[in-house]
Amino acid sequence: MSEQDLLSILEQIHTKQEGFCGILTGISLPDLVQMLCQVPCGNKKISFQSQKGNGAIYFTDGEIVHAETSGCNPQSGEEAFYELLCWREGRFIVTDANHVLKTIQAPWHALLMEAMRRTDERAASSNSRPTDVMIVDDSRLFVNVLEKALTEQCNARVVGKAVDGKTALGLLNGIRPDLLTIDITMPVMAGDVLLKNIMIRSPAPVLLMSSMGSGTLPKIMEFLRLGAVDYLPKPASEPEWADCLERLKRHVQDVRHYSLRHISRAKGGMPVMHKRGILERAERLLVVLGGVGGILEIQRLLPALCGLEGIGVVIFQDMAEGFLQPFADYLSKSFCFHLSAMKNGDILQGNACKIASWRHTWRFDARQDTVSLSVVSRESPLDFNVFLNDAAKYYGVNLYVLILSGARLDVEAGLQEVVTHGGHIFLQNADSAIFADPLLQIAALELEEASIDPAKIAEILMTRQ
């Protein structure tokens, strides 16, 4: 919603009874508040929802009379107003409001000036403060190397170190790190028990950093079902360290925007005895893009697709390259479709699912009724627009795109192409996502048909067969 669109609506709002809603990305909440004050229209309320929580600001004839926030630190009055104006992204709705007790006396322009001052101070403080990390691992050598990488290359500081889960829980009574890294196998209290305690007592973003082995894979998947935000295999070579460091930097940069308040845990899948027969051609195509938080949603999504017939599924999930094949092999055991890691030259088929990381850019090679999947360049990361352009031209109205949590890629051109060719776009509900900011930015393009629980995409596809 542009500023001009918003002004036009505000000029008419005093003659309408219904509210209006939108998404803040290009326009800030202070801009919206100023417009409501400059176009007086009786008693109005902005209800606002973002990753930070929920809140509301009340207006009477162009003056701000009350504000409130809810959540773990509820506030009201001027302090609530200043807190709300620090929020830069989220969904809002403007509606008529009943009379409320006046808790704010200052004029609106003075309130806005003070809010902007506090916002600038908070931004400066946030940008300068390193991200606080706790390392939980019983390998002293690995802890020393990881601490050095975090402090010297990731703008992070290690505020706690523990050799087992029990010690870590004790430390968490006195500190609140922004991020925890946890190993699976440790003495006294293993990593999975620690994670369950963290999620029950005080949910916090957790990175699982552990060596990959045949016996550890079920535990890794359990961590990811419980809400760990990512799995990073312990690196054993220089290229693996480079990949690990790149992913660490991104988590350290974004972790303060992660939220675990409303996520739904995934259930462990039961082994499937009989797979669907593969069809030579996929009549419809579902393309899924997931970032931070996407691995959890994929585990909830796949079982729901088993009621469909003849559809092809392609998933692009941001994950460590070394985890791609084990992840696909594990999910395949409990999924009725044939699921495999995507390889150069694979044929897109019905009742089959291909999964790829963000390491390479892929595209279609369509010849008559056969579509093969090919890597554009092994040196360039995923350009989702390229794949969507090909898919939209080939599948048209039979293309469905689902964007999950943390899909932090440039996708606008590709999504525009999907809409142009009659395809369908769905977004995960932002309030259920671990990393919602990218979803809110995509939602601002207003190209999606709906924001949904990802598992509901199966029901949508069933109604459109």
Alpha carbon distance 329, 225 (integer Å): 16
Q: Residues 276, 338: contact at Cβ < 8 Å?
A: yes
CATH fold of 130-257 reads: Rossmann fold (3.40.50)
SS percent in the chain: helix, strand, coil, step 5: 40, 25, 35
Asked whether the CA dihedral 312, 323, 257, 432 is positive or negative, the reply is positive
| pTM of the model as a whole | 0.77
Q: Which of 28-42, 127-141, 156-170 has the highest mean pLDDT?
A: 156-170
pLDDT digits (tens, 9 = 90+) for 376-418: 877 778 999 999 999 999 999 999 999 999 999 999 999 999 9
Print burial letters for 201-214: b (CB count within 10 Å at least 16), e (below 16): eeebbbbbbbeeee
Angle at 193 between CA 53 and CA 223, to 5 degrees: 65
Alpha carbon distance 203, 229 (integer Å): 11
What is the CATH number assigned to the segment(s) 284-463?
Answer: 3.40.50.180
pLDDT digits (tens, 9 = 90+) for 223-255: 888 888 999 999 888 888 888 999 999 999 999
- Phi and psi at 22, nearest 5°, equal -170, -170
Q: Residues 44, 71: contact at Cβ < 8 Å?
A: no
Q: What is the DSSP letter of 426?
A: E
179, HSE (Cβ side, Cα atoms, 13 Å): 27
Alpha carbon distance 370, 388 (integer Å): 17
| Residue 452 buriedness (CB in 10 A; 0-12 / 13-18 / 19+) | middle
pLDDT category at 126 given cuts 50, 70, 90 is low
Low-confidence winner among 91-105, 298-312, 435-449 (lowest mean pLDDT)? 91-105
Print burial letters for 277-301: b (CB count within 10 Å at least 16), e (below 16): eeeeebebbbbbbbbbbbbbbbbbb
Q: Residues 133, 177: contact at Cβ < 8 Å?
A: yes
CA diameter of the chain: 71
Element (H, E) at 290: strand 284-290
Q: Which residues pair with 356 in a beta bridge?
A: 316
Alpha carbon distance 308, 316 (integer Å): 20
Domains 130-257 and 284-463 share a fold: yes
Polymer length of the chain: 465
The domain limits of the chain are 3-127, 130-257, 284-463
pLDDT digits (tens, 9 = 90+) for 249-292: 999 999 988 988 767 777 776 777 788 889 999 999 999 999 99
* Tokens matching residue 63: 């003056």
pLDDT digits (tens, 9 = 90+) for 283-325: 999 999 999 999 999 998 998 898 899 999 999 999 998 899 9
Q: What's residue 284's pLDDT?
A: 95
460, HSE (Cβ side, Cα atoms, 13 Å): 21
pLDDT category at 18 given cuts 50, 70, 90 is very low
* Tokens matching residue 142: 């690995």
pLDDT digits (tens, 9 = 90+) for 49-67: 776 778 899 999 889 999 9
Cβ count near 92 (within 10 Å):
23
List Cβ neighbours of 16 (8 Å cut-off, separation of 6 or more). none
Write down the residue that tokens 């009350």 correspond to: 66
